[in-house]
Structure 1
Amino acid sequence: MDFALPADLIGYLAELDAFIEAEIKPLEQQDDNIRFFDHRREWARTDFEHGGLPRREWELLLREASMRADKAGHWRFSAPKKYGGKDGSNLWMAVIRDKFAAKGLGLHNDLQNEHSIVGNFPFVAMFESFGTQAQQQEFILGGFARNRITAFGLTEPDHGSDATHMETTAVPETRDGVEGWLINGEKMWTTGMHVATHCATFCRTSGAPGAARGISCFLVPTDTPGLKVEEYLWTFNMPTDHPRVSFTNVWVPDSTRLGPADGGLSLAQSFVHQNRIRQAASSLGAATFCVEESVKYARTRKPFGEALSKNQAIQFPLVELATQCEMLRLMIYKTAWDMDNMPHEAIESQLSDKISMCNYWANRLVCEAADRAMQVHGGIGYSRHKPFEHIFRHHRRYRITEGSEEIQMRKVAAYLFGYLGPRNKLFADL
């Protein structure tokens, strides 16, 4: 058993560090772009007068950084080689995300916008697994060219994490000899609709409420008559690009259907594992940053003439957090490695519980670490002149949005008690 990171991965991390210093840090400093990361960050990023949306100059800066990374061959790292990527593995992506977040806030990696110079592209797997050849060409290549941006319309106002009691419906309707579907309903937290060209809209097409079977996905162009952004919901961490969207007699041709009719929930699950392990690594890295910054501060701060770090009331909570970081890092890396060493279709049945363990625990840990960092730093830690309040407010969302921690714990319980997964055989007699 070898716990050492591959030498070529270590070399690539050094290459990324050099690229950040040469290309991204200067961009971060020019034209007062640092305002998006210092104490002015929430105000600089948010157009409070226009629904709380991201300011255009903020999004253009993120785009410029990713374009530079794409030119250098880094942005598409995780994508298949046939789309200009490097077939980046789950282990490599987990390590990169961990290391990037541990650097702190910066243009190299700002997860409030899901931005990184090493991008995460779950839509590629989704379209490769479920799309027609025409859809793959349009949405994968168009996604990298930025002329196709797909929002994700799954959650509904009255049902939250329960996608099976879906009230948005699609019924067959033929218009001018073209078979299609008439969609009516509402979606919540449909992130990115202010720039999206399409919304992947999940609808009940058959079956009873609560049934997993009978849900279909449609790629609805955002300029389709009857589709309306009702409001952008202001959140704990601003800006917001999370709207409530209504669909009133929205008609789309059958060619917009993604994946099999009535099999849409499988599509929704198709990329959740990659997302969860990478997001867990990011939360781990951010937690590590909070711990390390607290240690540095405690060594230099000298109230009453002695270093703050000599107090066990400061030491012990940080020891607990540092211990959890180290244990979680091993589990995340091991789980990512396991994902790389089994068929993609086997991950749900063999490893889904471990991925959920990594994700929900990492999201708790970073919130605890950010809160402790504020406490160690005292008044300045509570201010926006330190990044801990931003880290707390941002990562707090992941205890809800990446599959709530209760949903993920339910998945772990199902595997632990043998209702699902490999341990099912242990309880076969029951």
Structure 2
Amino acid sequence: MDFDLPESALAVREGVQAIARKYDQDYWSRCDADKRWPEEVWRELVEGGWHSLAVPEEHGGAGQGLLELAVALETLAAGGAGGAASFMYLLTPAFGGLTIARHGTGEQKREFLPRIVAGEIETCFAITEPDAGSNAMNISTLARRDGDHFVVSGQKIWISGVERADFLVLVARTTPAAEARPRTSGFTVLLVDVKDAVAQGTLTYRPIPKLGTNTVASSMVFLDEVRVPAGRVLGEVGQGFAVLWDILNPERILAAASGVGFGELVLRVACDYARERAPFGRPIGANQAVAFPLAKVKAQVELARLMTYKAAWLWDRGRPCGSEANIAKLTAADAAWQAADRAFQAHGGMAYSLEYPVARMFRDARIAKNIPVAEELVLAHIAQHELGLPKSY
């Protein structure tokens, strides 16, 4: 067994660190308060090719894998971005670059991947619906064939980044759920031209007011007879479930990488404060009541990192990684939340002040326990598939 990261991942860590250290917590707090995408950081990631790590070299990318993407995301989060980093690596690098590189036709790869590398187009992902959250089987958005197009109608919810996306990686049904046999058949993944559909009036969206992660909007999306060329199907018509899992597992692994980096960031903020704050003549960090909970969180972060790297390593080799992806997401999300909670407590009353970053970190960390999959469903998966217990849902 070799626990050293490959040279490619170490180079990624160094390159992303060089960008992250230019932006302090005041920058990230301003982006959050202004509900503004961190455009300056994004431009640097694009210019350095740090967003297109998983795009094959023949299309201008670095030809690396999910492990390198995970290390980049973890590094950006730990370097100061926190929860904002997750969307910067999920929306276009993963949902767009990684998915098209893995499942696109030769023509699709030539059309989209060089433009992703150049920063000319961005993507987002649409699966969740008001009546189909964690249960993808209930998706009702329907794509019907009309000559050389599909015509799509339906509604999606909690779609992050649609306001800046050029293309939407959309999961729809080409066979209604009631007719699909087996239920996992009849799914089709489509590349929807967002700006064209908006101009045609067939796609509209409405941002949802939310508690945190305000550097990107999350929206309700309404599709009303959106026309999509048949040449923009990812994978096979009606067989999109295989593509879907190749989106969801990397999403969970990258969410775990975000949690690991977020945990490291919050621990650093908490420990800096615990070393400096001395209301009784010595740093509060000298008190075990402060130090021990932070030390425990550090152990949790390190364990989550190991599982995150393992899951990414498995995915890169085409090996089953569903349980590992789920375990990584579960442990990393909890580690990030525990870090934020303990940092909040260590700051005492000052944690409630927006002059300190812990309030923002506290609210941003909490959502990771619910998305991209609720921890209860992760536990149900582990109970069924790893422990052999009866299915509970």
Rate the CA distance shift 1:191–1:227 in 2: closer, same or farther, 3 A.
farther
User: What's 1:111 paired with?
Assistant: 85
1:157–1:187 contact (8 Å) kept in structure 2: yes
Partner of 2:19: 20
- Structure number, greater radius of gyration: 1
1:65 is the counterpart of 2:64 = no
User: % of aligned pairs identical?
Assistant: 27
User: What is residue 410 of structure 1 aligned with on the other side?
Assistant: 380
CA-CA distance at 1:236 after TM superposition? 1.1
The alpha carbon displacement at 1:419 in A equals: 7.7
After TM superposition, the structure 1 = structure 2 runs for residues 146-165 of structure 1, keeping only pairs within 5 Å, are: 146-165=119-138
CA distance in structure 1 between the aligned counterparts of 2:228 and 2:51, rounded to whole angstroms: 33
- Residue ranges of structure 1 left out of the alignment (5+ in a row): 47-53, 421-430
Deviates more, 1:120-129 or 1:307-316: 120-129
Distance 1:94 1:131 in 2: 22
Residue 370 of structure 1: how far off its partner (Å): 0.7
Correspondence for 1:36: 27
Return the alpha-carbon distance in structure 2 between the equivalents of residues 129 and 363 of structure 1.
27
The CA distance in 1 between the partners of 2:5 and 2:379, in whole Å, is: 29
The unaligned stretches of length 5 or more in structure 2 are none
Partner of 1:303: helix, strand, or coil? coil
Corresponding position of 1:184: 153
Q: Is 2:155–2:221's contact at 8 Å kept on the other side of the alignment?
A: yes
Matched, 1:198 2:167: yes
1:172 paired with 2:126, answer no
2:65 equivalent to 1:86: no
Count of aligned pairs between the two proteins: 382
> Within 2, Cα distance between the matches of 1:89 and 1:67?
17
1:79·1:121 contact (CA, 8 Å) conserved in 2?
Answer: no
Answer whether contact 2:128 2:134 (CA < 8 A) is retained: yes
> Do residues 312 (structure 1) and 288 (structure 2) align?
yes
* Structure 1 residue 376: Cα displacement: 0.3
Q: Is the contact made by 1:227 and 1:245 (CA closer than 8 Å) also made in structure 2? A: no
Question: Is residue 218 from structure 1 mapped to residue 217 from structure 2 by the alignment?
Answer: no
Deviations 1:11-55 (A, max 9, x none): 6644554x438xx72xx48xxxx75324x44333x2xxxxxxx3x
Matching residue of 2:339:
369
Cα distance in 1 between the residues matched to 2:193 and 2:2: 49
**DSSP 3-state at the match of 2:222:** strand
Change (3 A) 1:8 1:87: closer
Paired residue type of 2:85: L
Per the alignment, in what secondary structure is the counterpart of residue 190 of structure 2? strand
Mapped pair 1:236 → 2:211:
yes
Which of 248, 253, 269 lines up with 1:277 in the alignment? 253
Structure 2 Cα separation of the partners of residues 314 and 401 of structure 1: 29
| 1:2 corresponds to | 2
Structure 2 residue matching 1:196: 3-state secondary structure: coil
For 1:66 and 1:5, locate their aligned partners in 2 and report how far apart those are by CA, in whole Å.
21
Amino acid at match of 2:102: S
Offset of residue 290 of structure 1: 2.0
1:241-292, CA deviations, whole angstroms, 9 ceiling, x for partnerless residues? 2221212233334233332111122222113323322321221122122223
Distance in 2 between residues matched to 1:396 and 1:409, nearest whole Å: 18
How far apart, CA to CA, are the structure 2 residues paired with 1:251 and 1:162? 26
**Structure 2 matches for 1:40-55, cutoff 5 A?**
40-44=30-34, 46=35, 54=36
2:378 is the counterpart of 1:387: no
RMSD: 3.0
Q: 1:219 to 1:162 in 2, by over 3 A?
A: same
Contact kept in structure 1, 2:344 and 2:362, CA below 8 Å: no
Q: Distance in 2 between matches of 1:132 and 1:356?
A: 29
Report the alpha carbon displacement of residue 331 of structure 1 after superposing the two structures with TM: 2.9
In the alignment, the residues of structure 2 paired with residue 131 and residue 415 of structure 1 have an alpha-carbon distance, to the nearest angstrom, of 30
The 1:327/1:221 distance shift into structure 2, 3 A limit, reads closer
Q: CA separation of 1:112/1:127 partners in 2, compared to 1, >3 Å: closer, same or farther?
A: closer
Change (3 A) 1:180 1:87: closer
Q: Does 1:227 align with 2:202?
A: yes
Q: Is the 8 A contact 1:277 1:358 kept in 2?
A: yes
Q: Give the distance between the partners of 2:350 and 2:287, measured in 1 at CA.
A: 19
Q: Is the 8 A contact 2:52 2:62 kept in 1?
A: yes
- Once the 2 structures are TM-superposed, how far is the Cα of residue 226 of structure 1 from its aligned partner? 4.7
SS at match of 1:401: coil
1:127 has 2:100 as partner: yes
From 227, 248, 252, the counterpart of 2:224: 248
**TM norm structure 2:** 0.85
1:330 maps to which residue? 306
After superposition, the C-alpha distances for 1:179-212 in whole angstroms (9 at most, x for unaligned) are 3333221111222222222323322222533822
Map of 2:110 onto structure 1: 137
TM-score by length of 1: 0.78
**What secondary structure, in the 3-state scheme, does the structure 2 residue paired with 1:320 have?**
helix
Question: Which residue among 280, 286, 297 is the counterpart of 1:321?
Answer: 297
Conserved in 2, the CA contact under 8 Å of 1:78 and 1:89? Answer: yes
AA paired with 1:336? A
Q: Deviations over 1:216-242 (max 9, x none)?
A: 223232223352324111111124422
Q: For 2:201 and 2:11, how far apart are their aligned partners in 1?
A: 52
Cα distance in 2 for residues equivalent to 1:322 and 1:256: 45
Offset, 1:383: 2.0
